[in-house]
Amino acid sequence: MRGTPGAAVLVCLAGCALPATGQDGAWPVWQRTPTRLGNTTTVGPKTPTIGWSMQFDPDSYDIAYNGSPIMDATGRVYLCVNHGLVAIDTDAREVAWSFVISDNGGYTPAYDSGVVVFGSATDYVYGVDAETGQGLWSFPEPGRPNLSPVAADGVVYYITQFGDLKARAIADGSLLWAIQMGTSAYSAPAADQLGQVFSSSWSHTQAWAVLSANGAQAWVRQLPARTQATMPVDLDAASAGRAYYMDRNANLTAFDRLTGDQAWTIKLGNTSAGMAGVSVGHEGTLYAGVYDFQSRSMCAVDPDGQLLWKTQFATDDTNSSPPIVDGDGTIYFTSYKTASTPIGRVHALNPDGSVLWIKDMPERVASSPMLAPDGTLYVNCSDTYLYAFKDPCPADFNGDGAANTLDVLAFLNAWAAGDARADFNGDGSINTLDVLAFLNAWSAGCA
Ligand SMILES: [Ca+2]
Ligand SMILES: [Ca+2]
């Protein structure tokens, strides 16, 4: 998806304060929306096909799998790494720039209005120019501000692990407000873009909703157990506007977004279970990953709090990030083995919970996948490679990711040479029917 400068100029002639960088990204924050829904109308890969991969930072072994990729409207991917932040040009499949700091980068960065924001593992929060990779601003933040910020409407909201929730202007980093929810917090905030921001206090076992304008409390509620998961906020009618909290005892609890009244709670696993967090699919269905000493599973819960299905997977797998849901209702998530040799897996489930595919990865994968508007599913791995899953397209005969005249040449060369791949219709012989079949597929192009 490329921008249209002409249209942007016309819009600006009508009077706009910012250049065209104010547009939303394709997947600008962790779980795509500031409400952290984790769903998209884009249809993702139905086969475990890795279209391409590229190394994004050879030094990033220990954090390369913790944060998720995000994407701006030009198709550029941003990823936190051991020494800061990298931008990846997904057309050229190369690193566009690296923003290097003397500390570890955080989990998932956030993009808004041409600025990428992330927090370092110990001491600073940074705003970086998305186009050039130049640092725009940085501020000391001693409370470990590295858990995925959320950005929307020119403001970035983030927590510190010391229990703070803060808001800064994305353009210059100026502090808009700061509050304390307790002495520790680990839930990356969600913003409903209707006036409220949501997070939780680990130390006080509380769900928090505050006014995005000034940080004043909207409501605070006691949770059944502590949580470090982010809380999606569903604004659709089916859920009546709810914020969902998943705690470490595997309780999934629904609160009214505005009043904080509890709508329901459901227990999805054993006490002392871990939680991977929850995402919201189409029609308000909730998908939550849980793991405990006996089992690992992905659960689907309807908007009224009833369990729809629970699919178990390998007992030595741990899933530590919420899933995402594509336009067909396919559910994608990652897991990794807790054994001494870490092996990661990418899972795709059908909407009924049955397994569509599972792909073993070379090393650990632990973050939520990201689904780009062209249907490519991105997963970053502790082997420091970014993997792009995409269903094969027959018209892309040379496999370079695009259907163009080079594919016609490649096909005709294979056909002339009697290459088995030139049996395009798969009937066992290579003849003019294969040329017709290829040209038909080529005319149809690739999605
Ligand atoms: Ca091609
Ligand atoms: Ca044939």
Ligand 2 center–CA 425 separation, angstroms: 5
**DSSP H or E stretch at residue 58:** none
Ligand 1 center–CA 431 separation, angstroms: 22
**DSSP H or E stretch at residue 423:** none
Q: Phi and psi dihedrals of 201, rounded to 5? A: -105, 120
pLDDT score of 272: 65
Q: Low-confidence residues of the chain, pLDDT below 70?
A: 1-24, 60-64, 237, 272-273, 339-342
pLDDT score of 63: 63
Say how far apart CA 262 and CA 403 lie, in whole Å.
Answer: 52
pLDDT score of 169: 98
Ligand 1 center–CA 131 separation, angstroms: 28
Ligand 2 center–CA 429 separation, angstroms: 4
**DSSP H or E stretch at residue 70:** strand 70-71
Q: For residue 352, what are its two tokens?
A: 């009924």
pLDDT score of 99: 96
231 and 243 in contact (C-beta within 8 Å)?
yes
pLDDT score of 17: 36
pLDDT score of 340: 62
Ligand 1 center–CA 347 separation, angstroms: 27
What residues flank ion ligand 1 with Cβ within 5 A?
Answer: 396, 398, 400, 402, 407
Ligand lying closest to the C-alpha of residue 415: 2
What residues flank ion ligand 2 with Cβ within 5 A?
Answer: 423, 425, 427, 434
Q: For residue 123, what are its two tokens?
A: 């001491």
pLDDT score of 14: 36
Ligand lying closest to the C-alpha of residue 421: 2
Per DSSP, the residues of 90-131 read TTTTEEEEEEE-SS---S--EEETTEEEEE-SSSEEEEEETT
Half-sphere exposure of 104 toward its Cβ, with a 13 Å CA cutoff? 18
Ligand 1 center–CA 109 separation, angstroms: 32
Q: What is the set of domains in the chain, with CATH numbers? A: 24-389 (2.130.10.10), 405-444 (no CATH)
Ligand 1 center–CA 390 separation, angstroms: 14
Name, in order, each residue with C-beta under 8 angstroms of 144's C-beta and a sequence gap of 6 or more: 119, 121, 122, 123, 160, 161, 162
Name, in order, each residue with C-beta under 8 angstroms of 183's C-beta and a sequence gap of 6 or more: 162, 163, 203
pLDDT score of 291: 82
Say how far apart CA 156 and CA 118 lie, in whole Å.
Answer: 10
